[in-house]
Chain A
Amino acid sequence: MAMTRPLAMLGVDLQRWRSRLFYGALVVALGYLIVMPVWRLQTLAFENDAAGYESQFGRPDIGETLRTTVGLAIASLVIAMVLGTLLAYATSRLPRRVGFLRIIPVLPIVMPSVANVVGWAFLLSPGPGYLNALMRQLPWWDHLDSGPVNVYSSTWIIIITGFGLTSFVYLFVSAGMQNISSEHLEAAQSSGSSQLGVFFKVVLPLLRPSLVYGGGVALLLGLGQFTGPLLLGQNEGMKVLTTEMYRRTSESPVNYAAAAAAASPLVIVGILVVLSQRFLLGNQARFVTHGGKSFAPAGGRSYWAAFFVGLYGFVALVLPLLGVLIVSLSPYWSENLSWDLFTLQNYREMVRTPGVMESVSTSVVTSLAAVAICVPVGLAVATLVVRNRHLTVVRTIADVITALPLGLPAVIFGVGFLLTYTQPPFILYGTKWVIILVYIVLMIPFATRMQMTALISMGNTYSEASAVSGASPLVTSLRVTLPMLKPAVLSAVALMFILLTHEFAASLMVRSATTQVMGTVLYDHWSNGSYTLVAAMAILMSAVTAAGVMVAMLVGGRNVLDNL
């Protein structure tokens, strides 16, 4: 006894300090990775008497740029909120037989945004856009030789952006919808409300919290929109803050300070939203329902719901994909289609084009590497936040830091990383590492939140049961915690892989000429006007993502995507 006592005492203290030290180090590392690039960027904007602000905000068109940025964000937000809410309501009312349609509103996330945007360009370009050509067959438009829709106009960029944001709003709203039991709806219906009445009088008020939250996220995403404005906006000179940042980094010499200045409004809004979410929602744990009873979906009988969801799927997914597919099979992009012109030449060409296949492997390798690092880091942060309430300061910092990348547009991290990692002490420019690192940063919020939710809903009891059975913490985590988290981890892996193989905005900034990912190579060919090659690449990107999803489903079961 005399022997064991001091030894055990030492053990207690050591253990406590070890965990404190470990989590401290983790938070410092994450801080360096996430906060440092943004911080360096922003301080740069203030250097030389705020020359960056002078250069960016002294531009004659800055007023227009700001107006466009805000206008794009708000208008696309409205579209996304309306569509997303309606979709969430419609999927909850789907007839049982077509219940599989429930997956449709999430699918646009699986489609690469660059592929989506070029798909719309192929459909709605005023000249050779296929849909425009079709519409010109209509009697009241047959006098036109271009149009009627101009995809390069800001109106249509907004509409396409809104379509893209719809899935995100849907995710939040449908999660909120889960908490409305079908009895609520049936009670309202049995007291004489129409479907529409139920929607406005019962569903919308109950959804308010998730609408506010989802709307906040969609607003941030809208403010940070990059792909649409960059790819479609160049023809008519549409400028938003993110494309301005890109332009400032493709000047000679690179004007980091001005790019940083352009980022400032977005950084401020992003931080405000992240912090206010923390204040408003407080402890995340309160918002996770603890297992047990869940409200089974009603299984409605509304065929209009099936029609609406189907229509959305057709417009948001099938149409752009079709546009891309047709161009990828045509010798050149032209409104005149004929079956005998269809060829696989573009795909052969694509395989031969230098850089394309390398970009596929770079995308896959960097995405997998980032995911491989994100999962354990996310688990560590989730454990810190959920299971280590005594480390008050450290866990709050970790919580906020890991939420930050969700609040800031990827472009900002891209520019920040370009700045930070082209300078000592870590010169990583031109290596895959800088891409991996920026990918880690972009995905940390997902890795953390999804595992946090899983940990919270799992509760402490399972690991306590293991401890009192005589299992050490290590054995507990290997034999109980990790196996039980497997579904959540697999979902997180699938989601992160999808998002990363699509990644475009940040990649465009940190890529070097020979270290490229699929999205950036596609963009280069888009800039060169090699439309058929672009189309083939968009198909390739979608195929790579689909392959990733299929692997995830093979490993994790069919419902991997349900957990989104």
Chain B
Amino acid sequence: MTSKRLAAAVAGGLFAVAALAGCGGSDDAELAGSWDEILEAANEEGEVVIYGTVAPDNLELLKQAFEKEYPEIELTYVRGTDADILPKVEIENQTGQGTADIHMTTDAGWIDRSLDAEYSVEVVGPSFDEEAYDRDASIIEDKWFVTSATVFGLAWNTEKLPEGLADPEDALASELAGGKVGVTNPAGIPTYVDMYRKIDVDFGENYVERLAEIQPRVYDSAVAIGQALASGEIWATPMSSSTVLTEKANGAPVEFVVPEKPFGVPWYSHVLSSSPHPNAAQVLADFLVTPEGQAAISHDFIACLPDIEGTGLGTDLQAQDVPLGDADELSSDAVQAYQDEWEQAFLG
């Protein structure tokens, strides 16, 4: 009897939850007509959210550049691996409770599958039609647009390993055995599966098998490897993201070189159909392929436009030159099979 009233209040609370659930979700925002109307509607929406696997520093640069260009729109970015982000995109699509407006990934298999599943809307911004962007080579089915690209390279801690790495073979040196080399775990990240397959050929015969034999330390992402290199937790890696150059610029004792036959992968982005800010999403998509956007998102990566300062990693490459993986080889089953095989070799 004592607590009946209080508990009644609780029951009320639970009802409130139920009510909230019933009417949850965003009010259905719609895409405006002309580009000017879209810009206006985007300002009204006032915010935009991007999910990306690109380095957090680049997303921060993008935020600053975008908010400078569009001061009325606040950009929120969420950085994670494909393993973090893809399930979230799927759940948002399934529930209609969108958070993200733009999603950026390197997963060729997922991009291919998404085309059948109404994940994306067509991009409408004018910058996609700029000559420098080369629409035909850059956009898949008017939805996925190439945004940037990265190549993985050799990197080392200059204090621990002053002589450095010249060749992928150097990373297999016996003095680095037993946890001084870092590798990424391909679990949930098909791009890494693709990478392992490629370097197994390009870095030398049975490279992956021999890499497994020196018992490297395993990390969840290339970004984490960069940090581990900087801290001296590992000494070297044959599969560093070019973002360690950013660490180097910050004063970390690291060095990075692109090997002879590098593995590269392009980032593609799309505007999500579950986007709660469809106009701002189009504006951000457009911004991504402008020179200002590229200078931010492709900093220390490979840009999708020519002649962007701070991009290109000292090469003439453009993101369009880096091929997307073969979707057939990156089907869920194939990826799963390779991951099992990989775990046997590296963690078994």
Q: Using CB atoms and an 8 Å cutoff, list the residues of chain A in contact with chain B.
A: 19, 22, 25-26, 29, 59-61, 125-128, 146, 150, 152, 234-237, 247, 249-254, 331-335, 354-355, 373, 376-377, 379-380, 382-383, 387, 418, 421-423, 425-431, 433, 436-437, 463, 473-474, 476-477, 481-482, 512-515, 524, 527-531
Residue ID in chain A nearest B81 by CB atoms? A527
Task: Give complex CA distance A382, B49 in Å.
Answer: 45
Contact of A473 among B1, B224, B228 (CB under 8 A): B1
- Give the most central of A127, A482, A513: most B CB within 10 Å: A513
Evaluate whether A379 and B7 lie within 8 angstroms (CB atoms) in the complex, with A19-B1, A529-B225 already known: yes
Question: How far apart are B191's CB and chain A's nearest CB, in angstroms?
Answer: 12
Contact of B4 among A19, A527, A529 (CB under 8 A): A19
Q: Would you list 26 pairs from A and B whose C-beta atoms are within 8 A, ordered by A residue? A: A19-B1, A61-B340, A127-B232, A127-B233, A152-B217, A236-B217, A236-B347, A251-B87, A252-B86, A252-B87, A252-B90, A252-B107, A334-B232, A379-B6, A422-B91, A425-B22, A427-B95, A428-B24, A430-B97, A474-B5, A512-B88, A514-B76, A515-B99, A527-B80, A528-B79, A528-B223
Residues from chain B with Cβ under 8 Å of A335 in the complex: 232
- Give the most central of A249, A421, A512: most B CB within 10 Å: A512
B7 with A422: CB separation less than 8 A: no
Contact of B179 among A126, A373, A382 (CB under 8 A): A126
Evaluate whether A237 and B218 lie within 8 angstroms (CB atoms) in the complex, with A379-B2, A431-B24, A531-B231 already known: yes
Q: Is residue B168 within 8 Å, beta carbon to beta carbon, of the partner chain?
A: no
Residues from chain B with Cβ under 8 Å of A482 in the complex: 2
Q: Mark B35-59, 1 if CB is under 8 A from A, else 0.
A: 0000000000000010100001000
Contact of B188 among A251, A425, A531 (CB under 8 A): A251
Our count of residue pairs bridging A and B at CB distance below 8 angstroms stands at 216
Residue ID in chain A nearest B26 by CB atoms? A430
Residue ID in chain B nearest A25 by CB atoms? B11
Q: Is residue B82 within 8 Å, beta carbon to beta carbon, of the partner chain?
A: yes
Residues from chain B with Cβ under 8 Å of A513 in the complex: 49, 51, 78, 80, 85, 88, 99-100
Kindly list 18 other residue pairs between chains A and B, CB separation below 8 angstroms, not including A22-B4, A61-B348, A150-B179.
A127-B231, A127-B232, A128-B231, A146-B179, A236-B218, A237-B343, A250-B84, A251-B188, A252-B83, A252-B90, A252-B188, A427-B24, A430-B92, A473-B2, A477-B5, A482-B2, A513-B78, A529-B219
Task: Give complex CA distance A474, B99 in Å.
Answer: 45
Q: Is residue B292 within 8 Å, beta carbon to beta carbon, of the partner chain?
A: no
Size bracket of the B interface = 35 or more
Residue ID in chain B nearest A253 by CB atoms? B90
A433 with B17: CB separation less than 8 A: yes
Residues from chain A with Cβ under 8 Å of B85 in the complex: 513
Question: How far apart are B127's CB and chain A's nearest CB, in angstroms?
Answer: 25
List 8 tightest A-B contacts by C-beta distance, closest first: A529-B227, A237-B347, A380-B7, A529-B224, A252-B86, A376-B6, A426-B21, A513-B78
B232 with A253: CB separation less than 8 A: no
Residue ID in chain A nearest B89 by CB atoms? A252
Q: Is residue B185 within 8 Å, beta carbon to beta carbon, of the partner chain?
A: yes
Q: Is residue B14 within 8 Å, beta carbon to beta carbon, of the partner chain?
A: yes
Question: How far apart are A37's CB and chain B's nearest CB, in angstroms?
Answer: 14
Residues from chain B with Cβ under 8 Å of A422 in the complex: 91, 94-95, 97
Task: Give complex CA distance A437, B95 in Å.
Answer: 18
Residue ID in chain B nearest A530 by CB atoms? B227
B110 with A252: CB separation less than 8 A: yes
Contact of B223 among A126, A331, A473, A529 (CB under 8 A): A529
A251 with B218: CB separation less than 8 A: no
Question: How far apart are B62's CB and chain A's nearest CB, in angstroms?
Answer: 12
Q: Is residue B174 within 8 Å, beta carbon to beta carbon, of the partner chain?
A: no
Q: Is residue B126 within 8 Å, beta carbon to beta carbon, of the partner chain?
A: no
Task: Give complex CA distance A383, B2 in Å.
Answer: 7
Dominant SS at the B interface?
A: helix
> Which B residues between 184 and 225 are near A, CB-CB below 8 angstroms?
185, 187-188, 217-221, 223-225
Q: Is residue B25 within 8 Å, beta carbon to beta carbon, of the partner chain?
A: yes
A433 with B92: CB separation less than 8 A: no
Residues from chain A with Cβ under 8 Å of B332 in the complex: 252-253
B2 with A254: CB separation less than 8 A: no
Task: Give complex CA distance A127, B343 in Å.
Answer: 24
B234 with A127: CB separation less than 8 A: yes
A60 with B347: CB separation less than 8 A: no
Residue ID in chain A nearest B7 by CB atoms? A380
B227 with A427: CB separation less than 8 A: no
Q: Using CB atoms and an 8 Å cutoff, list the residues of chain B in contact with chain A.
A: 1-11, 13-14, 17-18, 20-22, 24-25, 49, 51, 56, 63, 76-88, 90-92, 94-97, 99-100, 107, 110, 178-180, 185, 187-188, 217-221, 223-228, 230-234, 251-252, 332, 340, 343-344, 346-348
Residue ID in chain A nearest B252 by CB atoms? A332
Evaluate whether A234 and B87 lie within 8 angstroms (CB atoms) in the complex, with A29-B11, A427-B97 already known: no
Question: How far apart are A44's CB and chain B's nearest CB, in angstroms?
Answer: 15
Residue ID in chain A nearest B217 by CB atoms? A235
Residues from chain B with Cβ under 8 Å of A433 in the complex: 17, 20-21
Task: Give complex CA distance A529, B25 in Å.
Answer: 34
Question: How far apart are A23's CB and chain B's nearest CB, in angstroms?
Answer: 9
A429 with B97: CB separation less than 8 A: yes
Task: Give complex CA distance A453, B220 in Å.
Answer: 45
- Give the most central of A376, A379, A530: most B CB within 10 Å: A376
Evaluate whether A427 and B21 lie within 8 angstroms (CB atoms) in the complex, with A234-B218, A380-B6, A513-B99 already known: yes
Residues from chain A with Cβ under 8 Å of B21 in the complex: 421, 425-428, 433
Task: Give complex CA distance A383, B91 in Å.
Answer: 40
Contact of A354 among B2, B76, B88 (CB under 8 A): B76
Evaluate whether A380 and B4 lie within 8 angstroms (CB atoms) in the complex, with A422-B94, A531-B231 already known: yes
Task: Give complex CA distance A512, B84 in Å.
Answer: 10
Residues from chain B with Cβ under 8 Å of A125 in the complex: 233
Task: Give complex CA distance A433, B11 in Å.
Answer: 15
Question: How far apart are B207's CB and chain A's nearest CB, in angstroms?
Answer: 20
Residues from chain B with Cβ under 8 Å of A474 in the complex: 5
Residues from chain A with Cβ under 8 Å of B218 in the complex: 234-237
Residues from chain A with Cβ under 8 Å of B185 in the complex: 234, 237
Contact of A527 among B2, B13, B187, B224 (CB under 8 A): B224
Task: Give complex CA distance A295, B257 in Å.
Answer: 71
A383 with B96: CB separation less than 8 A: no
Residues from chain A with Cβ under 8 Å of B8 in the complex: 22
Task: Give complex CA distance A250, B83 in Å.
Answer: 5
Evaluate whether A437 and B17 lie within 8 angstroms (CB atoms) in the complex, with A247-B187, A513-B80 already known: yes
Question: How far apart are B245's CB and chain A's nearest CB, in angstroms?
Answer: 15
Task: Give complex CA distance A234, B232 in Å.
Answer: 18
A235 with B219: CB separation less than 8 A: yes
- Give the most central of A247, A331, A380, A515: most B CB within 10 Å: A380
Residues from chain A with Cβ under 8 Å of B95 in the complex: 422-423, 427, 429-430
Residues from chain B with Cβ under 8 Å of A425 in the complex: 21-22
Evaluate whether A528 and B221 lie within 8 angstroms (CB atoms) in the complex, with A22-B7, A127-B232, A513-B51 already known: yes
Question: How far apart are B105's CB and chain A's nearest CB, in angstroms?
Answer: 10
- Give the most central of A253, A463, A531: most B CB within 10 Å: A253
Residues from chain B with Cβ under 8 Å of A382 in the complex: 3
- Give the most central of A26, A249, A250, A252: most B CB within 10 Å: A252
Task: Give complex CA distance A55, B19 in Å.
Answer: 37
Task: Give complex CA distance A477, B8 in Å.
Answer: 14
Task: Give complex CA distance A100, B99 in Å.
Answer: 49
